[in-house]
């Protein structure tokens, strides 16, 4: 990847919100009588979010999107991870509800990115990684909200993070929480979007994995979740499968190493 990493524009251009809608996590509110819908890709972050949700909500459904990804491996691993969670964590098995897979081929048709086409992963003239799919998270949450509305669910959960990430502007808390407001207004419901990883770096995400499900969950995340942009599941590392050199593998590997170093 060439050039400097993308950074959000100056605060004057994007005024920060003074409050977020995601108040329940911080307050430790009891959510054990509620349902939620987790945006679940089969990757590391969304799997940890799924475990986080299974630990807190009475019923947890998952939604994934087929949007012309270069690699079907992501979609395959979704089922593998869900089955593994249900098999290895009996308390969570009863809370794990339906899985929904939504087809969004239009997103691939209007995108020209390294995630949906066979092009190089690099920095673009716009100063963003070529893996950035414009509007992806906005569309995902909008579809998820429509699905949640129909299912009577008022909490959406996503693995977006602005601490240790690839610089996608739609992963920022302001973006997500502003969208939550728009969706609440547009659907006339009190919709909450929870992003438990928002201010955690990748090392903290591994530590959170350990806290949620111990070594069994860490092992499951290592073995079954998929993050690599190149779809490599043949090359194995201590932190999981992947090419080892794409931006997603680099983030995952560095986080693992930092977590390992803090443990010893
Ligand atoms: Zn990779």
- At 114 the pLDDT is 54
Residue 223 within a domain: yes
Residue 18 within a domain: no
Residue 237 within a domain: no
Q: How far is the CA of 250 from the centre of ligand 1 (A)?
A: 7
Q: How far is the CA of 247 from the centre of ligand 1 (A)?
A: 7
pTM: 0.85
Residue 101 within a domain: yes
Q: How far is the CA of 115 from the centre of ligand 1 (A)?
A: 12
What's the DSSP call for residue 54?
Answer: H
Residue 202 within a domain: yes
The stretch 96-123 carries a mean pLDDT of: 75
Domain span including residue 54: 30-227
Ion ligand 1: residue ranges with CB closer than 5 A: 228, 230, 242-243, 246, 249
Domain count, the chain: 1
Residue by residue, DSSP assigns 176-218 as HHHHHHHHHHHHTS--EEE-TTTT--HHHHHHHHHHHHHHHHH
Residue 55 within a domain: yes
CB 227 within 8 A of CB 44: yes
Is pLDDT larger for residue 172 or for residue 30?
172
- At 12 the pLDDT is 40
What's the DSSP call for residue 123?
Answer: B
The stretch 39-51 carries a mean pLDDT of: 96
CB 164 within 8 A of CB 251: yes
- At 10 the pLDDT is 46
Share of the chain above pLDDT 90, in %: 60
Q: Is 140 exposed, middle or buried (0-12, 13-18, 19+ CB in 10 A)?
A: buried
pLDDT of residue 176 exceeding 50, the answer is yes
Residue 252: HSE in the Cβ half-sphere, 13 Å Cα cutoff? 25
The predicted-structure confidence for 153-167, as pLDDT tens digits, reads as follows 999 999 998 876 656
113 — pLDDT class (breaks 50, 70, 90): low
Question: For 17-26, 47-56, 239-248, which range has the lowest pLDDT when averaged over its residues?
Answer: 17-26
What's the DSSP call for residue 28?
Answer: T
Pairs from 250-256 (Cβ < 8 Å, separation ≥ 24): 251/164, 251/165, 251/166, 251/202, 251/227, 252/44, 252/202, 252/227, 254/202, 255/164, 255/201, 255/202, 255/203, 255/205, 255/206, 256/202, 256/203, 256/206
What CATH number should be reported for the domain holding residue 106? 3.40.50.620
Residue 63 backbone phi and psi in degrees, to 5:
-135, 135
Q: How far is the CA of 87 from the centre of ligand 1 (A)?
A: 28
pLDDT of residue 144 exceeding 90, the answer is yes
- At 54 the pLDDT is 97
Residue 85 within a domain: yes
pLDDT of residue 21 exceeding 70, the answer is no
Q: How far is the CA of 235 from the centre of ligand 1 (A)?
A: 9
Residue 42 within a domain: yes
- At 19 the pLDDT is 39
Q: How far is the CA of 109 from the centre of ligand 1 (A)?
A: 24
Q: How far is the CA of 244 from the centre of ligand 1 (A)?
A: 5
16: its two tokens: 């920060």
Distance CA 240, CA 178 (A): 34
């Amino acid at each position: 990847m060439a050039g400097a990493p993308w950074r959000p524009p100056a605060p004057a251009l994007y005024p920060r919100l003074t409050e977020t809608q995601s108040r329940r996590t911080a307050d430790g509110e009891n959510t054990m009588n509620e349902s939620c819908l987790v945006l679940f890709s089969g990757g590391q972050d969304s799997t940890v979010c799924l475990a986080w949700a299974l630990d807190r909500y009475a019923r947890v459904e998952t939604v994934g999107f087929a949007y012309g990804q270069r690699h079907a491996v992501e979609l395959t691993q979704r089922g593998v991870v869900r089955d593994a969670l249900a098999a290895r964590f009996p308390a969570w098995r009863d809370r794990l509800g339906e899985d929904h897979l939504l087809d969004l081929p239009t997103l691939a048709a209007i995108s020209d990115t390294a995630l949906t086409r066979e092009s190089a992963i690099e920095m673009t003239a716009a100063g963003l990684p070529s893996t950035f799919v414009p509007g992806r998270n906005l569309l995902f949450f909008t579809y998820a909200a429509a699905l949640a509305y129909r299912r009577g669910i008022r909490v959406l959960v996503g693995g977006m993070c602005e601490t240790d990430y690839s610089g996608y502007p739609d992963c920022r808390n302001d973006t997500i929480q502003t969208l939550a407001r728009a969706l609440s207004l547009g659907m006339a419901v009190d919709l909450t979007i929870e992003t438990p990883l928002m201010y955690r770096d990748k090392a903290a995400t591994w530590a959170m994995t350990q806290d949620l499900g111990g070594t069994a969950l860490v092992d499951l995340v290592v073995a079954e979740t998929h993050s690599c942009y190149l779809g490599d599941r043949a090359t194995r590392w201590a932190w999981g499968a992947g090419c080892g050199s794409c931006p997603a593998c680099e983030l995952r590997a560095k986080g693992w190493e930092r977590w390992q170093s803090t443990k010893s």
